[in-house]
Amino acid sequence: MKKISILGSTGSIGRQTLDVVSQHPEKFSVVGLAAGSNIELLKKQILKFSPRAVSVQNEETASALVSLIKPCNTQIFHGLEGVEQIAVLSEADLVVSAMVGASGLRPTLAAARAGKDIALANKESLVIAGEILIGEVQKRGTKLLPIDSEHSALFQALECGKRNHVKRLILTASGGPFLNTPQDQLEDVSVEVALNHPTWKMGKKITIDSATLMNKGFEVIEAKWLFGFEPDQISVWIHPQSIVHSMVEYIDGSVISQMGKPDMRIPIAFAISYPERISMNTNPVVPESFGELSFQEVDYSQFPSLSLAFDALREGGTMPSVMNGANEVAVSAFLSGQMKFTGIINTVKKVMDLHKTQPANTLDAVLESDLWARNTAQSLIRS
C-alpha cells in the first residue's frame, strides 16, 4: 500500500489524482491533502479518503472547514507552513506536487528534504529552482517522477535506450487556441477565447500559458533539469492532435515516442504507481482514437515565449525565476482584464531585459529574484 500526500488536491491535477487513487483502493491510501479555499470540495475529499491531515489557505478558512466536518479525526493546518506539514508527513511515501505557480516551490523542497519520492506537476519548482531541487533529490537518492504528459513521455522513451545514445529530446505542443491566428489579431482576443484550449481541460493559469506557449517554454527548462540535457539537445514540434506526447531521437535515427489520448490521468497513474503500471478505467484505444497525426516546426516569431524560455535556460542563474515571476503577474493581469493578451509576453520580455542575473544556488537568491520580477512586472503594468 503506497501512502500519498497531495499538494493542490482541489485543483485539476489533484482531482484527477484522487480519481486514479479511487480506482485502486488496494494500492493507494491518502494521508494528506493541501488545498486553498475550496472547502466544500475539500470536505467531500476528506469524507471519501479520510486523510490524517489537511491544510487550507488561512486560519479563517481552517475555522470554516472545522465547522463543516465536525466531528472529524483529520488534523487541520493552514497557510504555507500548513502545506509544508502535509509535504513532510511521516506516513507519506509519495508526495504529489500539484500546486500552481511558484507557491509550490517551498513545500516541494520540504518534501525533497524529508526524503519523500515526489510526483511533480508543479513545473515552476524546477523552472525557478532546478539546481536546488535536483540537488536535494540526488543527495537523498529519492525519485522525482514527472506528471506532465510530455515529460512522462520522455521518461518512458528514455528507458528504451542508453543515455549516451540519445541525440535529442522532442517535446510536442498542441499550439493552443491561436496556432493559426495571425499576429495582428491576437491583441484583442478575449479571456474566454484564450481559455478555450482545443484538446486539454486545465486550470486558468496553465491554459493561458498554453495559449502563449509559455507553458512549453517552462517544459523545456523542466526537461533540462529532469533529464540533464543541454538546450541544443531539446526541440519543440507543433502537434495539434496531442496524441504523441513527446519523442526521443537516438543517434542511429530511431525515434521512440509515447502515445495516448489527451487524458492527464494516464501520466498521473504512471507517476504514482512507478515502477509498476496499473489498469485504468478508460475506453479501449481504437484507430479512430488517433486519426491523422501531423507535426510542424514551431514558428518562434508567432510564439516568442519559447525564444524567451530558451534564452532564460542558456542564461541560467536567476533568469528563469524572473521569467516565471513576471509571467505569473502578467497572466493574472490579463485574466482580470488589466492588460491585453499580447501584453503578457511583452511584459515578461521587458522584465527579463531589466534583470541582472545572479547565481541561483540558494533559496534566498531564487525568492529575491522572484519578488523583484513580480514587483517590476506590476510596476510596468500600472504604467
* Residue 189 CB neighbour total at 10 angstroms: 18
For residues 255 and 18, give the distance between their C-alpha atoms in angstroms, rounded to a whole number.
33
For residues 171 and 149, give the distance between their C-alpha atoms in angstroms, rounded to a whole number.
10
The C-alpha cell at 199 is 484538446
**Residue 6 · residue 32 · CB < 8 Å:** yes
- pLDDT for the residue numbered 252: 97
Per-residue pLDDT of the chain (383 residues; tens, 9 = 90+): 999 999 999 999 999 999 999 999 999 999 999 999 999 999 999 999 999 999 999 999 999 999 998 878 899 999 999 999 999 999 999 999 999 888 999 999 999 999 999 999 999 999 999 999 999 999 999 999 999 999 999 999 999 999 999 999 999 999 888 888 888 788 888 888 888 877 767 778 889 999 999 999 999 999 999 999 999 999 999 999 999 999 999 999 999 999 998 899 999 999 999 999 999 988 888 888 888 999 999 999 889 999 999 999 999 999 999 999 999 999 999 999 999 999 999 999 999 999 999 999 999 999 999 999 999 999 999 98
- pLDDT for the residue numbered 246: 97
CA distances from 270 to 12, 197, 275, 369 (A): 17, 24, 8, 34
pTM over 0.85: yes
For residues 52 and 58, give the distance between their C-alpha atoms in angstroms, rounded to a whole number.
19
For residues 124 and 272, give the distance between their C-alpha atoms in angstroms, rounded to a whole number.
20
Domains of the chain, CATH where assigned: 2-146 (3.40.50.720), 316-383 (1.10.1740.10)
Closest Cα to residue 323, out of 269, 281, 370?
370
For residues 304 and 195, give the distance between their C-alpha atoms in angstroms, rounded to a whole number.
19
- pLDDT for the residue numbered 121: 96
Kind and range of the H or E element at 78? strand 75-78
| Residue 287 exposed, middle or buried by CB count within 10 Å (0-12, 13-18, 19+) | exposed
The C-alpha cell at 237 is 514540434
- pLDDT for the residue numbered 206: 87
- pLDDT for the residue numbered 143: 96
Assign 50 to helix, strand or coil.
Answer: coil
Beta bridge partners of 247: 170, 257
The alpha helices in the chain, defined as continuous H runs, are 12-23, 39-49, 59-69, 79-87, 105-113, 124-140, 149-158, 191-194, 204-212, 214-227, 265-273, 287-290, 304-315, 319-335, 343-354, 363-382
